[in-house]
Structure 1
Amino acid sequence: MADAGLFRYTRLVAMSVRVAPRLLLWTLLAALVGAGLGLGLFALETERLLSAGLVGVGIDVEGPYAALMNAIRPLLPGLLARVAAVYGVGGAVLGLLAGGLARAWGRQRLAWVIPHWLVLLALLAWDRAIARPALFDDLPALRSVLGWLVDHGQPWHPRVTVGLWLALPLGWLAWRSREHQRSLGLACGAVVAVGLLGAWISRTPSGGERHPLVVLIGVDAFRPDRLKALGGTGAVAPHLDRFVEEGATLFTRAYTTIAQTEPAWRSLLTARWPHRTGVRYSLTAESRWIPTSTFPARFADAHWRTVFATDCSRFHAEGPDSGFATRLQPPRGAVNFLLEKLRYRAVGLFADHRLGAAWLPEFIDNRALAGIHDPIGYADRLAARLVLEASQGPTLFAFHATAAHFPGDPTYPFYRRFVAPSEPIERRLRMHFSPVVPGAAGGAGSWNRAGAEGLYDELLAQADAQVGQLFDALKRTGRYDDALIVLFSDHGESFHADRPDLAGATSVHGARLSEEENRVLLAVKLPRGQQAPARVDTLVRLLDMGPTLLELSQLPSLPSDVDGVSLAPLLRGEPFQPQPLYAETGFTHVSPEIFDPGHWPGAPRSFETYRIRQDGVVEVDGSAHDAMVREKDRGAFDGQRWLVDRPQADGSTKRTCVGDCAEPAVLSSWLDAVLSRAP
């Protein structure tokens, strides 16, 4: 019996030795076929992009576009080579699976690899179409299928299908030949090992040593009335609601000095009014920025790790002068606008994971690429980075969540929450531009206010889920309770509730001084053991946060001439004298005459308004800058009244009061004093 067993074992070994080279050759050939199919798909997509007239890719352009081409042309070869590598490697992986399936069915001809490869690609596309339908929403041929998936598709549908597609031939192989059962067991073991390896790679690092940690989270365009504590339904932002309910201090009357991201963040970092930072609107030329100290620089000087992260750099990017030593953000300017046009869809199929983000971060970690960028996966990777940074020393970590900004593409399950299924699919999957002009409610291509706000709420829910990822990672690693966490928004959003004739127009921020646009979310959670009131109803300003964080962290304060003040007394329940808010409008696509007939509308609104530097950064042209500043409304708010100065077409300035206007003299004098020092 022993001799018979030894004979069978020797025979199996001999067969394995004979089969191994053929199996290896087959595997290699299947991978090569898959890589070839992937590269062929890359060639087809490239040809489609070229035929669509993509600016900057083999297209002759003149005038202002020449600078755009000059900035991006040197970068294209390397960028496209890396994209092609993704297609090749992704195709090879599918080729390996397809080769295994073909061999399992006894079809050991390379021609059989191709149909299996195509089926696997279709299953992968099915899965991503449910997860991120904006990946395919600009393909008319798929519109009806995509509409059905948006209404009825569930993630388990393609996953169960692919499981069956892979399991059936393996079962057939095991049943057909006992000699293959061992191979099947080894294959299953390999799959389990790969799964465990993937889980280990994607794990959140341990918390490590408990160094001081300050976390600053800005949720772009979040209106505080979406919080349950301030009248919201509780359905839009459950993680933010929980943050407030679990002990954070909610400032119910917090305001930003300017309702646009770049200038709002600059005022936040410097604790100064916009005219004292030089940043008066998005894309202000850096040559006009006024060098000044920032609170992150104070943290860095004290040997803290300072990190800033965002997945959108279109209208907000931090440079070295911000004080953040580490800045995780997509490329700025012309390159970013090019990337939006490079709709290489298979990048969203093959590379939406950690390895893909490391290889093509400008695609995978860039919100401008609708459907390719995975916001939840991004937040998961960012949460791991937050925990890692915090384990290595005292850390200031800032994250700007931009889900509610263009392109505004909600992912699963957010696109089913608040927009009515009866709306056209293009309205449900991306922000849609409708001009802010009277009569937009009935104009061609317009939308209704309920639909616009529903999409906005879905995007806020998506940003809330991202913030929840960070909170969960801090809690898992034991760093949540001992961290100082600030949650805020840089501005609000206006849906023109006071103008029925604009009900179908695109929402806007930075166009008017108002509660909808200038009132912001602000909540602060102190480290464990420090008591603070649950709610503060005193008027505060977003630019007060720098002095507050420095005092709470016991670090040197900013210069005494800053406009912000520390809110630490309010957090300690001590007496506090509120300070007025100075505010000014930004520069938007909306002419100010829409809201104020007779307003001076002289700032240009065309491509020629901007110039492109040699490094590709887009900035406002010098001649347009002065017109934009002249067009601004400027005002003050003391918690009871708004005083607003509006420049008129006849050269005069019209000052208006909104609110309790019985005694505006003190605020009026304060505003005059501020304006006397403003250009």
Structure 2
Amino acid sequence: MFALETWRLLTTGAVGVGVDVEGPYAALMNAIRPLLPGLLTRVAVAYAAAGAVLALGAGLLARAWGRKALGWVVPHWLVLLALLAWDRAIARPALFDDLPALRPVLGFLVDHGQPWHPRVAAGLWLALHLGLLAWRAREHRRALGMAVGAAAAVGLLAAWGARPPADGEKHPLVVLIGVDAFRPDRLRALGGTREVAPHLERFVEEGATLFTRAYTPIAQTEPAWRSLLTGRWPHRTGVRYSLTAESRWQQVPTFPRHFSDAGWHTVFATDCSRFHAEGPDSGFTTRLQPPRGAVNFLLEKLRYRALGLFADHALGAAWLPEFIDNRALAGLHDPVGYADRLAARLVTEARQGPTLFAFHATAAHFPGDPVYPHYRRFVAPSEPLERRLRMHFSPVSAGSTGGWNRAGAEALYDELLAQADAQVGQLFDALKRAGRYDDALIVLFSDHGESFHADRPDLAGATPVHGARLSEEEYRVLLAVKPPRGTSAPARVDTLVRLVDVGPTLLELSGLPALPADTDGVSLAPLLRGEPLQPPPLYAETGFTHVSPEVFDAEHWPGAPRAFDTYRIRVDGVVEVDASAHDAMVREKDRGAFDGKRWLVDRPRADGSVQRTCAGDCADVSSLAAWLDAVLARAP
């Protein structure tokens, strides 16, 4: 199987080996080729180990038919493989959705399959063989009974060993959870019409303070997280869009660094690092994330789908984390198993000492493959199978139209949010079982929202976008804070707050030194105590997206390049925006301020001018305009 899949990948040119390339593609191949031998060797070992385990199981089952039934080994091996595939096709159908021959069967399983179906079939098949073995071994019943008793004893010992450890010293614990692209209007408390995120809803209802008017300074993940960590606007961090060259990052203090300097364990974890990875300068001493850069884009092409059958567990994740703990690989990545392993790591870290644990949940991003039972929740069964199982990406340009329908696109988005919510719920459940949920300080937020082009009927169903326009859909975010037990806090706060305020808040609540005085964020601790506080306005700027700004504004300056040669591949394989494209990307940005009543926005025009517009209550914008001018004066 490994040889056949490898031959198919190499001969079709899917991974670029042996293909003549030049320019950025040459750099990409140069970064990838040295990694391939070791990577493929580990994949081959995984295949060999899985094949051996299946062969052992098949051989033992074949013995039920007699000592001379070795001819039954291969059929039994195939049955075991089919049972595994049946189970995974129901749990993660994206593992097989690119195989046309299986499309009819897959469609039936997606509509009608239940996880218990293959498990009952496997149980009945195993029971048949155990019955045959018992009948054939009736003269050895005593030995058979002893074997069953020994197996039961081993099971009991394993259950005893897996019991939760006794409560020890409870060190301070801060948990920071970011749910990528979560629009707060998906919560029922903020206007949601269906139960998209039951665990997040329960978190808000059971003692967390919900900030109903929270905003991000930039609606793209990597720059938003950088502003969050530093408490500074994007132009002061140097990270102005995804994949900003690291040489442009400003080396400024981060709040995780303050926690680390105070002796805390600081951990960052994510299952996707394509457009957001944390390096040493983030302040996190432990970073659990897939490999960054060219190798990550290569892995998508290496669809060794059998890894999704037999390596989607803790051992497989330890041997091949690039595949198993990487949600960029549709179907191979098991979000449920990943969250279980992450929850165990969270509890373990919390036992070692004071801990800051941050998790970035990325289910709502490409490849956008909902798993069971989420792919049945909101998208109508009448929709095409390929739309139900995976997010489809197509750039939006002037004159383009939507390729689906808005209801279907938003339904898929809600299913993916539900999947991320389930992962967050696994972390909460683990904390509760360990007795650490109540005494932990937990912050739940989103880095940005999502736009489905509600004001553009011609784009209904087009690829959603975030960071293209300064809008409520893209820039309003989720923010909820649960203080430790014994601390009273209001259920809701309606004051305008910003993501840059999160770091100063956590440092004050944890009794640690504040970020430097020139930080743009402020502590929200007074609001959590029920005291009055009015943070400064929000500064926000657009990012760089697949959508040219002239799609929404015909007179907007559209000069930033949108092609592969916009990026360069470093020697170490990291993908970054090329220097020649940086200035154009920055020039293309809209920049604005929001004080809760009005948006004041500067838009670059095609003729080289900048147009300032106001939306909302624009009777008196002088103070907001002066504030925005002061902020822009500090921008490069």
Give the TM-score category using the shorter length: over 0.9
Structure 1 residue 583 and structure 2 residue 543: aligned?
no
CA distance in structure 2 between the aligned counterparts of 1:298 and 1:601, rounded to whole angstroms:
41
Q: Give the equivalent residue in structure 2 for 1:7.
A: none
Specify which of 295, 313, 316 is matched with residue 335 of structure 1: 295
2:352 aligned counterpart, secondary structure = coil
Q: Give the equivalent residue in structure 1 for 2:98.
A: 138
User: How has the CA–CA distance of structure 1 residues 645 and 84 changed in structure 2, closer, same or farther, with 3 Å as cutoff?
Assistant: same
The answer as to whether partners of 2:28 and 2:294 remain within 8 angstroms in 1 is yes
How far 1:76 moved relative to its partner? 1.1
> Structure 1 stretches of 5 or more lacking a match?
1-40
CA distance in structure 1 between the aligned counterparts of 2:16 and 2:272, rounded to whole angstroms:
21
Structure 1 residue 152 and structure 2 residue 112: aligned?
yes
The answer as to whether partners of 1:56 and 1:72 remain within 8 angstroms in 2 is no
Structure 1 residue 215 and structure 2 residue 175: aligned?
yes
Q: Within 5 A, what are the aligned runs for 1:582-661?
A: 582-661=539-618
Structure 1 residue 308 and structure 2 residue 268: aligned?
yes
Q: Give the equivalent residue in structure 2 for 1:319.
A: 279
The answer as to whether partners of 2:407 and 2:461 remain within 8 angstroms in 1 is no
Which stretch of structure 1 is more off in the superposition, 183-192 or 429-438? 183-192
How far 1:108 moved relative to its partner? 2.9
> Structure 2 stretches of 5 or more lacking a match?
none
The answer as to whether partners of 1:56 and 1:73 remain within 8 angstroms in 2 is no
How far 1:557 moved relative to its partner? 0.4
The answer as to whether partners of 1:271 and 1:563 remain within 8 angstroms in 2 is yes
Q: Give the equivalent residue in structure 2 for 1:276.
A: 236
Q: Give the equivalent residue in structure 1 for 2:461.
A: 504
Specify which of 322, 333, 344 is matched with residue 373 of structure 1: 333
Aligned residues: 636
Structure 1 residue 459 and structure 2 residue 419: aligned?
no
Specify which of 447, 451, 454 is matched with residue 490 of structure 1: 447
CA distance in structure 2 between the aligned counterparts of 1:370 and 1:194, rounded to whole angstroms:
36
Q: Give the equivalent residue in structure 2 for 1:569.
A: 526
CA distance in structure 1 between the aligned counterparts of 2:500 and 2:137, rounded to whole angstroms:
73
User: Which residue type is aligned with residue 212 of structure 2?
Assistant: T
Structure 1 residue 527 and structure 2 residue 484: aligned?
yes
Structure 1 residue 108 and structure 2 residue 68: aligned?
yes
The answer as to whether partners of 1:220 and 1:261 remain within 8 angstroms in 2 is yes
Q: Give the equivalent residue in structure 1 for 2:81.
A: 121
How far 1:235 moved relative to its partner? 1.0
CA distance in structure 1 between the aligned counterparts of 2:408 and 2:166, rounded to whole angstroms:
43
How far 1:203 moved relative to its partner? 6.3
Q: Give the equivalent residue in structure 2 for 1:558.
A: 515
1:126 aligned counterpart, secondary structure = helix
How far 1:187 moved relative to its partner? 5.1
The answer as to whether partners of 2:541 and 2:592 remain within 8 angstroms in 1 is yes
Q: Give the equivalent residue in structure 1 for 2:129.
A: 169
Q: Deviations over 1:597-642 (max 9, x none)?
A: 1111100000000000111100000000000000000000000000
How far 1:390 moved relative to its partner? 0.4
How far 1:483 moved relative to its partner? 0.4
Q: Give the equivalent residue in structure 2 for 1:8.
A: none
User: Which residue type is aligned with residue 408 of structure 1?
Assistant: G
Structure 1 residue 299 and structure 2 residue 259: aligned?
yes
Q: Deviations over 1:162-189 (max 9, x none)?
A: 1111110210221234124345445545
User: How has the CA–CA distance of structure 1 residues 489 and 663 changed in structure 2, closer, same or farther, with 3 Å as cutoff?
Assistant: same
The answer as to whether partners of 1:212 and 1:395 remain within 8 angstroms in 2 is yes
CA distance in structure 2 between the aligned counterparts of 1:640 and 1:316, rounded to whole angstroms:
32
User: How has the CA–CA distance of structure 1 residues 606 and 145 changed in structure 2, closer, same or farther, with 3 Å as cutoff?
Assistant: same
Q: Deviations over 1:79-136 (max 9, x none)?
A: 1111111111111111111001111011635432111101110110000000000000
The answer as to whether partners of 1:207 and 1:387 remain within 8 angstroms in 2 is no
CA distance in structure 2 between the aligned counterparts of 1:201 and 1:622, rounded to whole angstroms:
55
The answer as to whether partners of 1:207 and 1:391 remain within 8 angstroms in 2 is no
Q: Within 5 A, what are the aligned runs for 1:666-677?
A: 666-677=623-634
Q: Give the equivalent residue in structure 2 for 1:20.
A: none
1:97 aligned counterpart, secondary structure = helix
User: How has the CA–CA distance of structure 1 residues 82 and 270 changed in structure 2, closer, same or farther, with 3 Å as cutoff?
Assistant: same
The answer as to whether partners of 1:170 and 1:184 remain within 8 angstroms in 2 is no
The answer as to whether partners of 2:137 and 2:144 remain within 8 angstroms in 1 is no
Q: Give the equivalent residue in structure 2 for 1:450.
A: 407
Q: Give the equivalent residue in structure 2 for 1:33.
A: none
TM-score (norm 1): 0.91
CA distance in structure 2 between the aligned counterparts of 1:264 and 1:471, rounded to whole angstroms:
24
How far 1:64 moved relative to its partner? 1.7
Q: Which structure is larger by alpha-carbon Rg, 1 or 2?
A: 1
Which stretch of structure 1 is more off in the superposition, 206-215 or 288-297? 206-215
Specify which of 37, 56, 60 is matched with residue 96 of structure 1: 56
Q: Give the equivalent residue in structure 1 for 2:379.
A: 419
How far 1:278 moved relative to its partner? 0.2
User: Which residue type is aligned with residue 161 of structure 1?
Assistant: A
The answer as to whether partners of 1:204 and 1:473 remain within 8 angstroms in 2 is no
Q: Within 5 A, what are the aligned runs for 1:161-240?
A: 161-182=121-142, 184-185=144-145, 188-189=148-149, 192=152, 208-240=168-200
User: How has the CA–CA distance of structure 1 residues 345 and 206 changed in structure 2, closer, same or farther, with 3 Å as cutoff?
Assistant: farther
Q: Deviations over 1:577-599 (max 9, x none)?
A: 23100000000010000011111
Structure 1 residue 397 and structure 2 residue 357: aligned?
yes
User: How has the CA–CA distance of structure 1 residues 190 and 208 changed in structure 2, closer, same or farther, with 3 Å as cutoff?
Assistant: same
CA distance in structure 2 between the aligned counterparts of 1:607 and 1:191, rounded to whole angstroms:
57
CA distance in structure 1 between the aligned counterparts of 2:202 and 2:123, rounded to whole angstroms:
37
1:369 aligned counterpart, secondary structure = coil
Specify which of 213, 222, 225 is matched with residue 253 of structure 1: 213
User: How has the CA–CA distance of structure 1 residues 294 and 246 changed in structure 2, closer, same or farther, with 3 Å as cutoff?
Assistant: same
CA distance in structure 2 between the aligned counterparts of 1:90 and 1:203, rounded to whole angstroms:
29
CA distance in structure 1 between the aligned counterparts of 2:320 and 2:269, rounded to whole angstroms:
16
- The alignment yields a C-alpha RMSD, in angstroms, of 1.6
